[in-house]
Structures are given as structure tokens and as C-alpha cells.
A and B are shown apart, each in its own frame.
Chain A
């Protein structure tokens, strides 16, 4: 029983991390149809900025966390301005390949300026302590992560339903042209989406750094890959779908780690992805896919 509770908490925190990242991908995709492969590099940038600022300026964790969030938001908005604005009206494949290129550039910039080896940044690992809830052993980080994700989702929900910019974003996901005709600036809506995706990436970055204790060029790649799969399962561009997919993958992954024998641990992710492929045979557009734009289903 204790073991089951422990694994349940594990799955919840894995799922929370994937959901955070998947939400950042989905909000950008829903508005401008961009598959943001560079999202992982935004997270890595947050990690590096933590390493640099943490060693040069201050060791105060609260300031550092704020700084990581700020750095991720800034770099996400900057990427949109520099790289993604030129391909805003292009088709999905063009945008996807551009983002893919941006991701390669950033990874190699980290490689050139930093080093291929991880750079230590241990300022946040104090978040990860072992707690005892009665007989159950949990990591404090898992609780922070789950709670922070739930708060972030609730906050995002409020923002999207109550604020003008949020409502404009939801409208833009349906029909961007119409939003522009109503007098809202396209640049503001898109920048807003990137800022939110950067904020979510920053939040994920804090937790990833607390667990890893070091920054590396490829650190964002694996979680973002899983988050992409989460988005596809949930239905790409659907925000509830991203959250659902994220938690689904978290539970699948922990389930695989528990069920597969120890020697097959390396295959857990492969098994998860294979199961996802099966889900997609059943529903090629994902579980909660947004209304099709092909015109034949209206």
C-alpha cells in the first residue's frame, strides 16, 4: 500500500512536469500553429542562467528562482521576435523546421560557450528533501512540483477566461484573422503566448534544476520530447489535452518502470512511446483534438 502511494506520487510529479511543458507547447501551437522544438532550449537557457547568476551574483534561492523565470520568459519572447515572426504565416512544416533549426543553433551555442559537460548549479537542490508522511516516504520536490503545476494550471485558466489578453488568445486559437479585425494587435497576442510558454518553461526548469543540480546543452531535450508526445496524444493545440496527455504519460512512464523488470528499465520510454502510437491508431488526431479545420466536419 505504501509502495503504491509512493508510486502514485511519483507518477503525479512526473505528469506535472510533462503537463507544464506540454502546456507551453500547446499554447503557442494553438495560436500560431508553430511546433516549438526550441522549447527545450528555453529550459536549458534557464538552467545556464541559474548557473551563471548563481555563481556570480547571489546565492539567494528566491531571487534565483525569479531570475530563472524571467530569463525563460525573456528568451522565449526574444526567439519569437527574432526567428519565428518571419514564418508566422507559413505552413506548419516550415514553422516546425524553423523551430528545429533554432533548437540546433541554441544547443550548439551552449556547446560553444559552455562545455559539452554539465555545468554545476546546486543552488536549488535544497528543494529536494525526503519527507515522511506517516509511513510513506516522499520527496518534498514532488509535492512542490505537483502543487505548483496545479496552481499554474489554475492561474492560466483564470488568465484565459478573465483577462482581455487571455480571451483574445483563446479567440486567436479559433480564428486569428477575426481577432485582428476586432482591433487587437497580432504581435501582442503572439508575444503574450510566448511569454506564457516561457514562464511555464521556467517553472519546469526550476524543478528540473532542483533534481539535476547541473545545466547541460541537451537537458531540455528529453522532457520536451515526452511533452510533445503528450501534446499529440491529448490533441495538438488543445490545452486540456496537453494537461491530460502530460499526466497520462507520467502515469504510463511510472507504470512501465514499476511493471518492467529492473533489467528492462532502459526500455521504459520506448514502451511508453509504443503505447502512445497505439492510442494514435485509435484516434489519429489525439484524444481531445480541437475542431478540425479541414472544412469537412463543420
Chain B
């Protein structure tokens, strides 16, 4: 095994600290939590995996991309279609073509198939995403989102469109997703400190300079793009394996708004920022959802206010961009708060 360099060792410490934070939250829930909070926590961890995946591309390459919900949806559907028993698929997908309702696989094999399909699509889209510049990346990522969503809606025989695809075995629990989230934190942190991660960050700061130093920018972007789609795939699989029913609606713009706001609040450029942003927005949204239903507060019945949670997300994005463009964490990772960096900063 190759020896890790100094920043990679610091990365491991940082990932360890973040994992402890995650374990602390799960521990608090195990001691005092109520059962409905398990769902909130599960959703938060699925979002966390997505946001960390976003960070690996958006943060390191400094491009805004919005296609992650599409890749998550592809993986969720692929895993769901593979793992659902044939008897159940006869009911839930009676018209599926190509014998999609005539086979079933073990959960592990289904997850691998889903990862494989999503990764392949990531590679194919990455071939042109990595060559685009600036705004083009963002717009084409939105185009990918729209294309995938309209295919989900159109092929109702495979994806059931806006109706639910039901009967997926509920294999995952909070333990699984906690482990997955911790693995994601370590993977993203090691990727950030790896040679490819460093090249990407260099190219994001100064593309001409990085090229002059011999960095193959397109290749580095392609690697990061594919890696990030694998994170989205993992999140999609965890989503399908927990809920037992999926539909096309959650894999669209609202989810994109949510996860992008989480990443921006914490700060694009660090994995710790992704984690903190996800946790803060999750807590904030739980409060706002309660306000949205029109609760009685100190004897006053508040009106029902739909759209308040969306408003909050927008305000968070604009406020962070105006006052702290690099998010709460900026370029710092969690270990920089605890252990001051030696030598050059």
C-alpha cells in the first residue's frame, strides 16, 4: 500500500471526526428518539450521500450541476426493478417489456446492477460534460435532468410515471444507511485529497495554469463526474430499498433545489461543509414544515402557508451567496477547526 501524504492523513482524521458526528446523532436518536424520527434521519442520510456526491464534482471542479436527481432516479428504478420478486412484479409492472418482470435478483446483485447502469450512463454523459465550459455544464446538466424525467413519465410500462412503483422489498434500515453515509464521507474526503482531486481543484482555480503544469483537465473532470454519479446511485438504491415504493416525482427539480441549497449553505469546497449544510437544512426544514401546516402558537392559529419551505431554501441560497459566497466552511475542513495547519496555510 502506498503511503498517504500529509493532507491525505489529515483527510482521514477529518472523515473520522465527521463520522463520529454522524454516529453521535444516531446514538442520540437510539437513546431518546421517537420512531417517526427514524424516517427523518434516514431521509437526511440519503440526502447527505447525494450532497457529498455533488460536492465531489461541483466542489472540486467548481461547476454548478443539477442532474443528480436524474442519476439517483435511474439507480433507484434499476435497483427496484431487479430486486422486486416476480410475483409482485406481475401486479406492479404487468406490461413491462423485455422480460423485465420475469426475473428477480438478490439485493446485492440488484445494487451492483444499479451501480453499473448508473456508472455507465455517467461515463457516457461525462464524455461530453467534461469537455463543456462554464455555463454549458449547468445547462446541459439541466437538459439531462429533463430528458430522464420525461422518459420516466413517458414509459409508464417500466417506470409507472407519476404513479408509484410498489412492492420493493424493504431491505434497508437506519443502520445500513448510516454505514453507507460514513463510507461516502471517507470516499469523498479521500477523493478530494487524491491526485485527481488536487488536479481538479487546481484547474478550478486556474485552468490555464493547471494545463500548463500538465494536468489533463478533461480527464480529471470525467473521473470526478463518474465518481459523483456513483454516489447518487448509492443514494438512489438506499432510497428505493428503504421506502419500498418509488415514483418519478421526487427525482426532479424540488429535490435538486433542496440538495443544492444544502451544499451551498455548508460550502461547496469542503466535504465537512456538505455534511454541516445537510444537517442544518434538515433541522431548519423540520421546523418550517411544522409552521407550514398552520400550527397554533401561543394561542394564535397561524394560517396554512404552502411554499414556506421552498422560500426558506431560496433565502438561504441568496443570503449565503451575498454574504458568504464560500459557505459556512469555505475552504476549511473540520480538522482545520481542531488542528491548526502547520507550515504554509
- A residues bordering B, Cβ < 8 Å? 29, 35, 83, 86-87, 90-94, 96-98, 100-109, 111-112, 116, 225, 228-229, 231-232, 236, 264, 266-267, 269-270, 273-274, 276-277, 280-281, 284-286, 294-296
Contact = CB atoms under 8 A, between A and B. Distances in A.
Contacts of B306: 111-112, 116
Nearest to B211: A296
Nearest to A232: B139
Interface stretch (B32-40, B43-51, B76-84, B313-321): B313-321
A6 B302 CA distance: 54
Interface stretch (B20-28, B140-148, B293-301): B140-148
Given A236-B136, A277-B140, A105 B311 contact: yes
Contacts of A225: 142, 146
Contacts, number: 138
A90 to B, nearest CB: 6
Contact of A111 (B151, B208, B264, B310): B310
B208 A97 contact: no
B137 to A, nearest CB: 10
B117 to A, nearest CB: 18
Nearest to A271: B147
Given A104-B257, A285-B136, A266 B150 contact: yes
A247 to B, nearest CB: 18
B131 interface: yes
6 contacts: A90-B321, A93-B268, A108-B308, A108-B311, A266-B150, A267-B150
Nearest to A217: B307
Nearest to A102: B318
Given A105-B311, A107-B310, A270-B147, A86 B322 contact: yes
B139 A228 contact: yes
B135 interface: yes
A270 B321 contact: no
A97 B317 contact: yes
Given A266-B153, A280-B132, A108 B310 contact: yes
Contacts of B279: none
